[in-house]
Amino acid sequence: MGMISSNVTNTSAARRRARALLLGMSLTAFAVSAGSAHAQQADPTTPPDAASEQDIVVTGLRASFEASMDIKRDSTGVVDAISAQDIGKFPDTNLAESLQRIPGVSIDRRNGEGARVTIRGFGPQFNLVTVNGRQIATSDTNTVGGDQDVDFSRATSRSFDFSNLASEGVSRLEVYKTGRSALPSGGIGATINVVTQRPLDRRDSGLTGSIGAKALYDTSNDDFKVNPEVSGVLSWSDDDDRFGVSLFGAYQKRDSAAASSTSNDWNVTRFADMPGRAADTIIENAPSDPNTLVAIPNDSRYHYSESSRERINASATLQFKPVETLTLTSDIIFAQNKISEARSDQGNWFNRPFDRVRFDDNPVIATAVFLEEGSRYGVKDIGFEQQYRATKSELQSYGLNASWEITEGLTLNLDGNHSTSSSLPDSRNGASSTLVSLGAPVVDGHSVDYSGKIPQQNWTLNDATRGNGNGVLDIGDLGTQVQRTNSSSQRHRLNQIRADLGWEFEGGGRFDVGATYIDSRMTSARTQTQQTLGDWGITQVGDVQRLAGDLLQPFCMSCKFDRYSPTGNDIAFRGNAVDLYEAFAEAYVAAGNPINVTGRDFDRINEKIWSAYAQFTWKGDLMGRPSSLVVGARYENTKTDAYAIISLPDIIEWDSDNDFSRIVTTNSLERTQEGEYSNLLPAIDFQIEPMDNVVARASYSRTLARPDYGNLFASQSANGPNRPTALGGVATGAQGNTNLKPLVSDNFDISLEYYYARSSYVSVGFFAKKVKNFVGVGQETLNLFGLRDPSSGAPGSRSGTALTQLQTLGITVSDVSLFTLTALLDENNGNLAAATAQLQANINNGVLDQAFVDQVLARRDVLADGTDPLFEFSVSTPINNRQGNVHGFEIQGQHFFGETGFGISGSFTKVSGDVSVDVGADPTQNVFALVGLSDSFNITGIFEKYGASARVSYNWRDKYLSATNRGGSRNPVFYAPFGTLDANLSYDITENIAVSLEAINILSEPVRTYARDTKQLYFAQELKPRILLGARYRF
C-alpha cells in the first residue's frame, strides 16, 4: 500500500516537473529564429469545388497566416480560413484545434482532443461540414471519454467529428459565416469546407511530397510510453499540367489515461418534498422556504480510465485535362478511427433516510453539499464497477468532378459523390459499452462532501459481518451484482449529384445557377442486455475471487489523481470488463440466471433533398470606391421517410428500492411516418472599400439546420421510473416526430476590416440571428404497450397495501421500506400478517436492517399483476414551438513586427441571446435552451526567422450549456470554463529536413461538467500534457 502511494507520488512530481519544463519551453520559444515565405491562395468567393483551379503555394508559418488573411480580405461575405504551412504540414495536429483560432469558433473535446465545433453559439448539430464542397456522410456513437451517461446513449447526431481526419492531408479549412446561395444548406452557425490536396493546384510540375514521423508521449500514462505518428504526401503532375496524381496516408496511435470523478445524477425537488428525511435526520442550513428547490446526489464515484486510439487515413486524387478547357478529377478518401477505454469505478451510494444533510446557501436551488449515513442500516456496500467501451468509426468517400469551360467566361461544373460512414461497437462481445457491477458489503458508515472541487468520500471499514473478516479490503470481500451491455451503432449513406453553370461578364459581373440532388439514408440501432449475478444486495460474497480471481487486481485509486485529491480508503480494483463479463456470464447462466434483453431499437431515416439556386455577382466601383454585391436565392425541398422496428416490452420489473428493468419480448411491430418541407433561402452580400486598405461588409441571409435524427424517429419507447411512483417517481416515454420542420434563421452581419500592413490587420464584426422552429417538447400522459405499474401504491395493489401498512405502523416510508414490504407480500402470496412479522423482526430502532433488505431484493423482483394499475407514462414528443434571438460581436487581428520575425494573432467573441436555461426551472417539466452558447478568445505568439519557427497559443472558452433535460429531474449540463496553452517549435536543419517539438495542454487544464449549480458535479476529468517530437522530409 505504501509502495503504491510512493510510486504514484514520484510520478506526480515528475509530471509537475515536466509541465514546468514545457511552460519554460513555451515562454522561451520566441528566442529562436526563423524565415518566412509568401503565398497565393484560391479565391473563396467561387464555388468550393472551383477552388482547385487556382495555384496554391503556401510555405512557412507566417505565410500560412498571410494566406488566411488574404482569403478573408478577398472574399465576399464573412469568411475565415486556416491554411497549411506547406504540403503535408498543417499548423495543428488536430483540425478542430486549428479551427478554434477563428473568431466565433469553439470546440468540444473528447479525452482532451478537439472533436466537434460550435460556431457563434450554435453547437455541432447546427453547423454543416463539407469536404471539397461536398456533403459527406457522418456518424458518431460518442461513447468513449464521457461520463457514465454515455454508456447507454444512442447515436442520432448529424455532427461531424474532426478527430477522424488527419490534418496533414488538408490544404486549408474555410469557414463561411454568412449564407450564400451557391453553398449547400444545413448550417445555421456556419458552413465549414475542408479542402484536400490536389495535384494540378500546384504551381510547379513534377514530383513533390513530404514524409513525416512523430513520437507522441502522453504524460497521463503511468509508464513512459511513446506512440508513433507517421504521415506521407506524394503529388506528381506532368510538365504540361495535363495529368496529375496525389496520394496521402497517415497512421496515428495514442495511449492515454485519466482520473475522474462523477455523480450519476442529481435529484431535484421542493424542500418540503425532500426524500430521505426522517424525524431524527439532522438538517443543517435548511432552506427557510419549503418551496425552495433542493438537489441531492444519487451517488459519488471516482474513476481511472486507460484509453487507446488508433487512426488511419488515406486518400488519392487523380486529375486529367484532355484539353485545356476540361479538367476531370476523381478522388477517394478513407478514414478509420478505433477508440477503446477501460474504466474502473469506486462509488458510494446512500440509503434513505439520511442521518445528516447539510445544504449550501444558494437561494434558487440549495445543494446538499454533505450527506452522512451511520450504521443504522448495518453494513452496506461500496461499489467497484468495471467498464469497457470500444467503438470503430469509418468514413469512405468517392467523388468525380468535371469542370468544362464551354466558351470564354462560361463554365460548367458537374460533380457526384458517394460516401458512407459508420460508428460501430468494437469489443469482442459486440458491445460498445460493457459494465460489470461489483461491490464489497463492508461499509459501516460513510459520508460524502461536495463543497470542494470533487466529492470527498469517507467511510469506515467493517468486513467482519459480511466480508472475509481479515480487517483489510481485498478481493475476498467482493461479490458480483449485475452486468449489462449496450450495443449502439449508426450508419449513414449519402449520394449527391450537383451541376453548376457560371457565366462571367465583362466588367466583373458573374451569374451562377445550379441544382443538387441528395439521397441520404441513416440507420441507428441499439441493443441492451442485463444479467443478474449476485444481485444489487451482493448475496454471493466471494464469487469474484472464486470465478475471476486472476482477472482483477487491487490498486490505489486516489494515487491516480494529481490536480484533485480524493480522500477515503485508497484501495480499489481494476480488470478488463469484457473478460469479467464472459467469466461471470458462463457461471451464472449455468446457475439459471439468463442474459435478458432489456431494450432493442432500430430506426431508419431516409431524406431526399432537391435544391436549385441562382446567384448574381457584381464587382465594380460605387462612388469611386471598389465594391461588390452578391445577390441570390436557393430553393430546397426535403422529403423524410421514417421507419422503426419497435421491440415490444413485456414488463417493467421493480428490482429494488429505486431500480427498475424493462424486459422486452421477441415480438415487434413496424411503424412508419412521413414528412416534407420546402424553403426559400435568399442571401445578399455587399462590400465596399471606403478608403484604401479598409473593407466594410454588410450581409443578410436565411439559412436552415435540419432536426437531429433522433427527433425524427418513428419509434416509441417506455422507461421505468427513477423511484417508486407512489413516492413521486415518474415513468417516462418518448416518441419522435417525422413532421418536424428545420430550424430557420434570418442572419444579419456587418463588419469593418483594416489591412494596415502586408501581414497585419484588425477587424470587428457584429452578427444577429433570429431563429424560428427550435425544437421544444410536448408532453402528454398516456399508457404505452399495456404496461402495468407494480410501484403505484394504488389501493388494492400489493404496493398500496404495503404503503398503508407502513403508515399504520409508523415506519418511515422510503424507497427501501416500500419495496421490501411489497416484495414480502408478494413472497407470502399476499399474507399481510406474515409479511409484516418478517419486516418487524428486522427493524432495530425504527430502521430496517440492510443485510435483511439485501436478502429480500436478491430473492424477489416485483412483477406487475392484475391488481396493479396501468403505468402512466409522461411521454415526450419533439415539436417546433420555440424561437430565439442570438447576437454578438467578433474582434480579430494579427500583427507582424516588420522583419523581426515576431508576430501576434488573436480574437475575441462575445455571444448573447434569449435562449439560455433557467436553473430554477420546474424539475418535472422539460426545458428549452440553446446548447453551445459561450464567449471565447484566443491569442497566439509567433516567431519565424533563420530557419526556425515557434508558436505559443492560448485558447479559452467560457462556461456553456452542453445538454438539457438530463435524468429524472430534467437537469441542464454545463461545461465549466476551459483554457489550454499549447506550444510548437520547429527548426529547418536543411532546405528539405525539419525537426519539431510540440506540447499540448501544458497547464494540465481539466474538464468539468455540472448541473444547476457548480457544486452539482457530473464529471471532472484530469487531463495532462502531450508532447510530440517529430521530423519531416520534404522533396
pLDDT beyond 80 at 91: no
* SS3 assignment, position 722: coil
Rounded to 5°, angle at Cα 964 from 959 and 965? 145
Query: Residues 913-923: what's their mean pLDDT?
Result: 91
Closest CA to 154 of 527, 640, 428: 527
pLDDT at 998: 95
pLDDT at 423: 95
What is the Cα–Cα distance from 613 to 679, expressed in whole angstroms? Answer: 12
Domain extent listing, the chain: 2-787+871-1034, 798-859
50 falls in which pLDDT band (50, 70, 90)?
Answer: very low
Phi, psi of 287 (to 5 degrees): -60, 140
Class of domain 2-787+871-1034: mainly beta
In terms of phi and psi (left: phi > 0; alpha: psi -120 to 50; beta: otherwise), the region of 587 is alpha
pLDDT at 43: 37
What is the Cα–Cα distance from 431 to 424, expressed in whole angstroms? Answer: 9
pLDDT at 846: 77
85 falls in which pLDDT band (50, 70, 90)?
Answer: confident
pLDDT at 111: 84
* Complete DSSP assignment for 764-797: EEEEEEEEEEEEEEEEEEE--TT-B-TT---TTS
* Complete DSSP assignment for 443-511: EEEEEEE-SSSS-EEEEEE--SSSS-SSSS--GGG-EEEEEEEEEEEEEEEEEEEEEEEEEEPTTS-EE
The count of other CB atoms within 10 Å of the CB of residue 586 is 11
pLDDT beyond 80 at 632: yes
Rounded to 5°, angle at Cα 410 from 407 and 413? 115
18 falls in which pLDDT band (50, 70, 90)?
Answer: very low
pLDDT at 58: 46
Query: Residues 761-768: what's their mean pLDDT?
Result: 97
Q: Regarding predicted confidence, which is higher, 561 or 3? A: 561
For the ranges 136-140, 498-502, 533-537, the one whose mean pLDDT is highest: 498-502
What grid cell was written down for 486? 449496450
What is the Cα–Cα distance from 1001 to 874, expressed in whole angstroms? Answer: 44
pLDDT beyond 80 at 93: no
Query: Residues 81-104: what's their mean pLDDT?
Result: 82
What is the Cα–Cα distance from 352 to 657, expressed in whole angstroms? Answer: 10
pLDDT beyond 60 at 692: yes
Cα of 307 vs its chain's centroid, Å: 16
| pLDDT, mean over the chain | 90
pLDDT, one tens digit per residue, over 439-477 is 999 999 999 999 999 999 999 999 999 999 999 999 999
pTM of the model: 0.87
Cα of 392 vs its chain's centroid, Å: 16
pLDDT, one tens digit per residue, over 306-353 is 999 999 999 999 999 999 999 999 999 999 999 999 999 999 988 888
pLDDT beyond 50 at 567: yes
What grid cell was written down for 638? 426535403
pLDDT beyond 60 at 710: yes
59 falls in which pLDDT band (50, 70, 90)?
Answer: low
pLDDT at 143: 85
pLDDT beyond 50 at 16: no
pLDDT, one tens digit per residue, over 783-803 is 999 999 999 999 999 999 999
What is the Cα–Cα distance from 74 to 69, expressed in whole angstroms? Answer: 9
What grid cell was written down for 200? 494540378
pLDDT, one tens digit per residue, over 363-384 is 999 999 999 998 777 888 999 9
pLDDT beyond 90 at 14: no
Alpha helix locations (H) across 591-734?
A: 709-712
42 falls in which pLDDT band (50, 70, 90)?
Answer: very low
Percent of the chain with pLDDT over 70: 94
115 falls in which pLDDT band (50, 70, 90)?
Answer: confident
Closest CA to 379 of 509, 537, 257: 537
Closest CA to 340 of 386, 371, 309: 309
pLDDT beyond 50 at 8: no
pLDDT beyond 70 at 56: no
pLDDT beyond 60 at 565: yes
Residues 235-254 as b/e (b if ≥16 CB within 10 A, e otherwise) read: bbbeeebbbbbbbbbbbbbb
**Which residues share a beta bridge with 335?**
313, 395
What is the Cα–Cα distance from 571 to 477, expressed in whole angstroms? Answer: 12
pLDDT at 15: 46
CB 900 within 8 A of CB 874: no
Rounded to 5°, angle at Cα 81 from 75 and 84? 125
pLDDT at 107: 85
CB 633 within 8 A of CB 613: yes
* SS3 assignment, position 1006: coil
Q: Which element (helix H / strand E) includes 20?
A: helix 2-28
pLDDT at 292: 95
What is the Cα–Cα distance from 859 to 848, expressed in whole angstroms? Answer: 17
Query: Residues 566-591: what's their mean pLDDT?
Result: 93
